[in-house]
Amino acid sequence: MAILGKIQRSSGALILVIGLAMFAFIIMDLLKNSSTLFRPSTEYVGKVNGEKILTTEFNERVKALQDQYGPNVSPAQVRKQVWESFVNEKLMENQYHKSGITVPVDRIYDRMKNDPGIRRMFTNQQGIFDENAFMNYLDEINAAKDINNPDYKAWKNYQDNLKKAEAQRIYASLIKGAINPTIKEGAWEYHKENDKVTFDFVVAPYSIIPDTSITITENDVKEYISKHPDMYKVKESKDIAYVKFEYKPSESDYAATKRQLEELLKDREVFDEEKNAKVIEKGFASIGPDQVEEFIKKHSDKVTPVRWILADALPLNIKDTILKLPKDSVYGPVRSPGRFIVYKVVDKKTAVPKKAKASHILISYKGALRSTSELTEEQAKQKADSILNIVKRNPGKFAELAEKFSNDPGSARKGGDLGEFSFGTMVDEFNDFVFSGKKGDIGLVKTPFGYHIIKIDDLSDEKESAVKLAELIREVEPSEATIDSIYTVAIQYYTAAKKAGDLDKVEEDKFVKPMPIKKIRRFETNLPGLGDQPAIVSWLYNKKTKIGDIKRFEVNDGEVIVQVTGETPEGLMPVSEAMVLVKPILLKKKKYEILKEKMKGQTLDEIAKNCGGQKGKAENLSLSSPLIPSLGKEPKVVAVAFITPQGKISKPIEGNYGAYVVKPLEVKRAADIENYYNYIVRLEQKEEAGLINKIMEALKKQADVEDNRAVLGY
């Protein structure tokens, strides 16, 4: 009983302990869960009208697209493209569902089997598409359903894309079906083009009133943009100032690289493990022509082909020296931004034709460069010899044989004609034959591409010296000491900037001046002067980052100090920015009101005198082409001329160039025609142009899109 009583007396405390334990358990569970009360879920990248774009699917598509594009497109650009494609797909899928659009399996199958690429893959030896082989392949792939099998994934993606494309085609057809211009609309289009009006006019140019005499206030601009909100909407953006400390090589780094390159010119003693003895390894200055390419591959930071160069094409800074050097000599190291180059004259020629014209028949073989031939090298040589014998006996058959036998499809279609080319642009063997021969010569040459039967069609009379040049290149990289020095300066600047609270207040004599970047939008990570910087943009759009905040970033080639200098919320453009765009419009409107009051009188002469304008005449203008000579397009003026009674003077018109009044002299109404079909078709085509893009824009305006990319660091 004593124990029971103790429990009863402690029940309040016990319940509190249990309650706290349960609360802690729930909180921990929430914190572990990917979707919590405190942070958005990382399960999905976003939602479109409530439908999730799963992170796993998003990342898979990003990887596939990045693999396709390679390093030339930044990850940020790829993610942006994938996001747009997902949003578009979700919006369109919703439309397909609402419209009752389904794509039957047999239609997808039909599309696949009529795909030229698939037909080529499953064409039998008789040149006929083997549908059974195609079906068997599909059955095997689909039966396995191995998501790790690249073939299965490729086929699934292909079928999915076909299904999307077919659904979009059906949807677009339904929308196009609703575009049905009437006969009256066709007739109106016809008359817009063919009705003509001739009129006299008075124009008072806006320029006769000085801009300085008109006052445009911020309230004027604010009122105007509030009445035209669609024209002056802006997305959220941030402004920054930055200073970049780039890891550039110092003069000592240049000197060190130059010394390394100079050592490569000399012969040196090295240990040969195979011979178990010391041997002399020749330097770049003493190696023979047959060793140059191998030496460059081994020692050059950038491998460039050993090539013939005409004297006129040599860089100006080395031209005179190179032309004077004897064969097998070297020149350099020659300094250029970020590198040193040593040039070696491998060979020289004088008085070679600058240009030539030639034709060829290429017979390639298995293993030759870019070859798809199944011939052995011996078979290719025999075939080339046979063709050579024929064309030597009868050069007139060259074009016919090229079209029939050449493995170079581009020139084969033109009878083997390669057109005109300069000395040194072809591979050495081909180049040597053509530029060492004479017009009309026919011969056989072997190159890495196969055997060429070559006919020299022409050689230019203009001659030039040429050198065969090799380049040994060493890039100059900043040393650790240089990087440490630059890093120290960057830290000093960062410390000074944090203390001053403003990049502009740091002493300019010690550091570089900050550079501004305006209007940085969320997820647009390619920053002018800095390249792709997702980390900087992510920091800018972090809720904790405020105007005035300063942060240091390590980038690939240096250190960047960034300060947030401003922001523009989503909505109407700020008045200060809109002023530049709106002021000219408001100036024109206020000038028109002044000129309108002056355009009084019973005749055009009186009106011109009163307003300081000038008289003119416009002949045979149409609504579709309302161009007044010397004044520009004036659609309002021409429209008023059509509706004003002949001989009467119109009320003032607000034109593009100035204020007008018009006095119609003649209106020529085009005779009606029996059939307006061509004009109706033209209207349809105009409406259908870019239809899907227009639909997408309309759907996006109405859609509820939740963007979770920032949470995931995208």
User: d(Cα 69, Cα 102) in Å, to the nearest integer?
Assistant: 32
The one-letter amino acid at 142: N
Is 446 buried (19+), middle (13-18) or exposed (0-12) by CB count in 10 A? middle
User: d(Cα 632, Cα 161) in Å, to the nearest integer?
Assistant: 48
Picking from 147, 144, 120, the residue whose alpha carbon sits closest to that of residue 133 is 120
pLDDT of residue 16: 40
Answer whether residue 7 shows pLDDT above 60: no
pLDDT of residue 209: 96
The one-letter amino acid at 160: D
Using DSSP's 3-state secondary structure scheme, residue 525 falls into coil
- The answer to whether the beta carbons of residues 553 and 533 sit under 8 Å apart is yes
Between residues 354 and 711, which one has the greater pLDDT?
354
Confidence of residue 41 (pLDDT cuts 50, 70, 90): low
Bridging pattern class, strands 339-353 and 196-205: unpaired
What one-character DSSP code corresponds to residue 612?
A: T
- The answer to whether the beta carbons of residues 631 and 203 sit under 8 Å apart is yes
Percent of the chain at pLDDT exceeding 90: 60
With left for phi above 0 and alpha for psi between -120 and 50, is residue 648 left, alpha or beta? Answer: beta
Q: Tokens representing 228?
A: 């035209």
Contacts of 280 (CB under 8 A, 6+ apart): 267, 268, 269, 270
- The answer to whether the beta carbons of residues 37 and 30 sit under 8 Å apart is yes
Q: Is the pTM of this model over 0.75?
A: no
* Residue 289 CB coordination number (10 Å): 15
Q: What is the mean pLDDT of the chain?
A: 87
Q: Tokens representing 198?
A: 């001739």
- The answer to whether the beta carbons of residues 470 and 331 sit under 8 Å apart is no
pLDDT digits (tens, 9 = 90+) for 49-87: 989 999 998 888 888 888 888 877 888 888 888 888 899
The one-letter amino acid at 524: E
Whether the link from the prior residue into 333 is cis, omega within 30° of 0, is yes
With left for phi above 0 and alpha for psi between -120 and 50, is residue 50 left, alpha or beta? Answer: left
Helix (H) / strand (E) containing 435:
helix 428-436
Sign of CA dihedral 598, 600, 604, 606: negative
Helix axes 604-611, 575-598, angle to 10 degrees: 130
Helices (H), 10-104: 11-32, 55-69, 75-99
Bridging pattern class, strands 355-363 and 450-459: antiparallel
Q: What angle do CA 201, 204, 205 make, to 5 degrees?
A: 120
Bridging pattern class, strands 614-621 and 571-572: unpaired
pLDDT of residue 23: 38
List, as own/partner pairs, every contact residues 214-217 make where C-beta atoms lie below 8 angstroms and the sequence separation is at least 24, other chains included. 214/587, 214/590, 214/591, 216/579, 216/583, 216/586, 216/587, 216/590
User: d(Cα 143, Cα 295) in Å, to the nearest integer?
Assistant: 54
- The answer to whether the beta carbons of residues 194 and 622 sit under 8 Å apart is yes
pLDDT digits (tens, 9 = 90+) for 630-688: 999 999 999 999 999 999 999 999 999 999 999 999 999 999 998 998 998 898 888 87
User: d(Cα 371, Cα 364) in Å, to the nearest integer?
Assistant: 6
User: d(Cα 388, Cα 451) in Å, to the nearest integer?
Assistant: 11
Helices (H), 145-285: 150-178, 183-194, 218-227, 251-265
Among the ranges given (155-169, 285-299, 317-331, 478-492), the one the predictor scored with the smallest mean pLDDT: 155-169
Helix (H) / strand (E) containing 317:
helix 316-324
Residue by residue, DSSP assigns 331-345 as EEEEEETTEEEEEEE
User: d(Cα 490, Cα 559) in Å, to the nearest integer?
Assistant: 7
pLDDT digits (tens, 9 = 90+) for 416-448: 999 999 998 899 999 999 999 999 999 999 999
pLDDT digits (tens, 9 = 90+) for 585-641: 999 999 999 999 999 999 999 999 999 999 999 999 999 999 999 999 999 999 999
pLDDT digits (tens, 9 = 90+) for 141-163: 777 666 667 777 777 788 888 88
What one-character DSSP code corresponds to residue 504?
A: G
Q: For the chain, which domains are there?
A: 51-178 (no CATH), 196-234+575-668 (no CATH), 237-248+478-569 (3.10.50), 251-350 (no CATH), 355-461 (3.10.50.40)
pLDDT of residue 187: 94
Helix, strand, coil percentages (3-state) for the chain, rounded to 5, are: 45, 25, 30
Over residues 475-486, mean pLDDT: 95
The one-letter amino acid at 625: S
Using DSSP's 3-state secondary structure scheme, residue 200 falls into strand
Place of tokens 């002493």: 507
- The answer to whether the beta carbons of residues 570 and 229 sit under 8 Å apart is no
Contacts of 433 (CB under 8 A, 6+ apart): 441, 443, 445, 454
pLDDT of residue 146: 66
pLDDT of residue 255: 96
Q: What are phi and psi of 6, to 5 degrees?
A: -65, -40
